[in-house]
Amino acid sequence: MNKYLVIGGVRSGKSRYAEQLAQQHALSDGLNVVYVATAEAFDNEMKERICHHKRSRPKHWQTIETGPELVNTLSKIDRQAVILVDCLTVWLNNCLYYDAINWQLEKSQFLKWLETTEHTVIMVTNEVGFSITPDNPLARQFADEQGWLNQGVAALASNVTFTIAGIPHAIKQH
């Protein structure tokens, strides 16, 4: 099946594009969309972001809210579906937030799942490599891990689209 990575900066239109892509695949393949949301509401601003995303997607889509154990959640989706994961960046942030989580293990399990799944999977992620090198160890670790995660996912993806100012640009197509 197809695997898509939609990458861009904050408010670049990546989620909206990924949702359109999921809808197109669902209609053409006769499948349902399973929206896997990785965000956790740690504060009021994040609660509002989550509400905005909930309002923007079709009501008939199944939504699964997951914490840091993304692969465990994905592995439980047994019926054929178009899976939209929004977003890998927030998933990484949550994994680093919870010190007890082994990020390297989570990442390797995710990449293995992605490589072997029969689902059409659309993943949203942020490009964080355009900024300066952060001034503290945790922020540098986050930027490094995000870059490595994006590279690993892009290598497995059949299609990679970069969004900027609401405009999608195909950078890898198969």
Residues annotated in a binding site for GTP: 8-15, 37-39, 54-57, 65, 86
From the candidates 25, 52, 53, 119, give the one annotated as an active-site residue.
Answer: 53
For CA atoms 97, 93, 68, 50, the dihedral sign is positive
Sheet bearing 120-126, strands edge to edge: 62-65, 33-37, 82-86, 120-126, 3-8, 159-164, 167-172
Q: Which amino acid is at 103?
A: W
Which two three-digit tokens encode residue 43? 């504060």
Query: Is 174 an annotated catalytic residue?
Result: no
- Say if residues 104 and 111 touch (Cβ distance below 8 Å): no
Cis peptide before 95, with omega less than 30 degrees from 0? no
Helix ranges, 60-122 (H): 70-75, 88-97, 103-116
Q: How many CA atoms lie within 13 A of 128 on its CB side?
A: 23
Binding-site residues from annotation: 8-15, 37-39, 54-57, 65, 86
Q: Which residues are catalytic?
A: 53
